[in-house]
Amino acid sequence: MGLRRWRHNPLRRATDLAEAWLALGALLLILVAAPLLGLLVGQVAEDALQQSVREQREQRHPVAATVVRKVDFAPLDPDPETATGQDSRSRVLARWTAPDGTSRRGTAMADLESPRPGEHFTVWTDGQGRIVGRPLDTATAATHAVLAGFGTAVACAGVIEGSRRLLVWRMVRRRYDRWDRAWSRVGPDWGRTGTGS
């Protein structure tokens, strides 16, 4: 439909040509600018997330912990990324040796279905021996970066298309206003013979 407006037509209005140029410009921006912006945001996010992965691997250490006893209550997990529908982790009272050599004791989530005293499992701790979450892995970081880039590209395309539609709507409104003024000048009896027109 938009290409038909490019032809030389005596009925073509200036706004028709403007709409066609606007559509072409928006299409080019969606095809070129949106993917480039998405790629840029994805690369920046990838760099930041991979730096976070490196820092977490330096600061977090896997430590072998021993089950002392099972804890009866299991409060909600504060990290929604670690919870799954098939989560078979149990809350236990455990003891472990911190990276600095001190002995620690506290509640932890064990990846054991029915933990018994004396069983071993792995926990992640910081330099002081406090239990922390598992460090982010590179695949998850890359997935988050790809999603950030894709989301940015889609949002950019949406903003471009929304702006184009808003501009076209304003052009159509102005066109209708001009038509209303022209009809009011002609008057209600524009088609009757002998009215002086």
Least reliable range by pLDDT among 81-95, 96-110, 132-146: 81-95
Per-residue DSSP letter, 2: T
Is residue 69 within 8 A of residue 117, CB to CB? The reply is: yes
Q: For residue 61, with 0-12 CB atoms within 10 Å meaning exposed, 13-18 middle and 19 or more buried, which class applies?
A: middle
Closest CA to 42 of 136, 150, 124, 119: 150
Edge-first strand order for the sheet with 103-110 is 103-110, 90-97, 61-70, 120-125, 131-132
pLDDT tens digits, one per residue of 122-172: 999 988 888 998 899 999 999 999 999 999 999 999 999 999 999 999 999
Query: Tokens 């029915």 identify what position?
Result: 114
Q: Classify each residue of 6-28 as buried b or exposed e, where b means 16 or more C-beta atoms within 10 Å of its C-beta.
A: eeeeeeeeebbeebbebbeebee
pLDDT band at 86 (very low <50, low <70, confident <90, very high): very low
Residue 105: both structure tokens together: 């004791």
56 vs 188: which has the higher pLDDT: 56
